[in-house]
Amino acid sequence: MKKALIKPLLVAALLTSAITAQAHRAWILPDVTVLSGEAPSVTFDMAVSNSLFNFDHVPVGNASLIIHSPNGELLAPENLYTGKFRTVFDLTLKKEGTYHIAISSQGLFAKWEGDAGKPQFYPKRGEIFKQDEFEKVVPKNAAKLEIVQSSRRVETFVSLGKPSAFTLTQQGLELKAVTHPNDLFVGEKAKFQFYMDGKAVEGVDVTVIREGTRYRNDPQELKYRTDKNGEIEINWNGAGRYYLAASYKDNQAQKPASSRAGSYAAVFEVLPE
């Protein structure tokens, strides 16, 4: 249990998070998710946006981008570029199986009342959590001090040939594939399971939205909540790429935090039958 606490903090201190607090819809969007042939390439866009999937706000930086090959090797993004609205990179798939592309961060978030009742925060908007900075900045006996153990994850998957299993980090809110994310078809329900710090959890709120929101008036959000096994079953409303966002909060935190909160987002492609 103690070990479980130390690890995320260390990782958080090492990571330079690219995801800032105000990021509502941050995503990594693959152009294609199911591939065949010899060493095909996939191109990706990373952005924070309102409409899905348009580039209408800011890019997601690549600082904490981690790409795993099917056998767990770390791969570097190719042709990396960050513009005004998006970050772009390519990936060559040399081995058969599933590639896991993710950005994640963990850390503590503190809120307290400063002098004259002024609300104070650490990290502030746009700031990155660092353990030593946290120790310095946050007064241990401040009024109304509330510390949240917070985690974020944004990810996607692409497969060459037969999709393969991928591993969970056991940190923060994560998705475990019961139905493989690169094996999704209209007319077939997809089952996903949500884990918080390595344990399946009930009560994760999940919103699923098909791409093309700019071209329809109703965003047609599908809402789900995980059951006692941490599972949801999604009934896709048409083919396309989907944005899935999940959030979870409880009070099972490690001290000094009093609660833990996880957010998760992923992009999946659903193919026509």
Partner 1 sequence: MKKNRWLIALLLGGFMGAMAQAQELEIRVELPKLNVAEYHKPYLALWLEDEQGAHVANIALLYDAKMRNNEGEKWLKDLRQWWRKSGRTLAFPIDGVTGATKGPGVHHFTFTLPQNLHAGNYQVRVEAAREVGGRELVTLLVTLPVKKSIEINEQGQSELGTVSLLLKP
> Contact region for partner 1 (CB under 8 A) — 5-13, 35-43, 189-197, 203-211?
35-43
Task: Please say whether the beta carbons of 37 and 201 come within 8 A.
Answer: no
By C-alpha distance, which of 108, 96, 120 is closest to 40? 96
> Contact region for partner 1 (CB under 8 A) — 56-64, 158-166, 191-199, 223-231?
158-166
Q: For partner 1, which is the closer residue by CB, 154 or 158?
A: 158
Q: Say how far apart CA 91 and CA 154 lie, in whole Å.
A: 17
Q: For partner 1, which is the closer residue by CB, 126 or 272?
A: 272
Cβ neighbours of residue 210 under 8 Å, at least 6 residues apart?
A: 52, 220, 236, 237, 238, 240, 241, 242, 270
CA 158 to chain centre: 15
> Contact region for partner 1 (CB under 8 A) — 29-37, 63-71, 201-209, 253-261?
29-37
Burial of 155 (0-12, 13-18, 19+ CB in 10 A): buried
CB of 161 to partner 1, least distance (A): 5
User: Tell me, what DSSP letter sits at residue 9?
Assistant: H
Binding of residue 38 to partner 1 (CB under 8 A): yes
Which residues share a beta bridge with 269? 241
Q: Say how far apart CA 165 and CA 177 lie, in whole Å.
A: 8
CB of 91 to partner 1, least distance (A): 15
User: Tell me, what DSSP letter sits at residue 60?
Assistant: P
**Rg over CA atoms, the chain:** 19
- Residue choice 77, 161, 203, 212 for contact with partner 1 (CB under 8 A): 161
| Positions in 214-273 near partner 1 (CB under 8 A) | 271-273
CB of 41 to partner 1, least distance (A): 10
CB of 70 to partner 1, least distance (A): 13
Binding of residue 40 to partner 1 (CB under 8 A): yes
Binding of residue 179 to partner 1 (CB under 8 A): no
Total interface residues for partner 1 by CB under 8 A: 15
Which residues share a beta bridge with 206? 224, 246
- Residue choice 2, 3, 36, 251 for contact with partner 1 (CB under 8 A): 36
- Residue choice 94, 162, 189, 214 for contact with partner 1 (CB under 8 A): 162
Binding of residue 186 to partner 1 (CB under 8 A): no
CB of 46 to partner 1, least distance (A): 24
CB of 100 to partner 1, least distance (A): 18
Q: Say how far apart CA 115 and CA 14 lie, in whole Å.
A: 32
Q: Say how far apart CA 85 and CA 66 lie, in whole Å.
A: 21
Helix (H) or strand (E) holding 199: strand 199-200
CA dihedral over 140, 145, 151, 154, signed as positive or negative: negative
> Contact region for partner 1 (CB under 8 A) — 30-38, 100-108, 166-174, 203-211?
30-38
The residues binding partner 1 (CB under 8 A) are 34-38, 40, 159, 161-163, 183, 185, 271-273
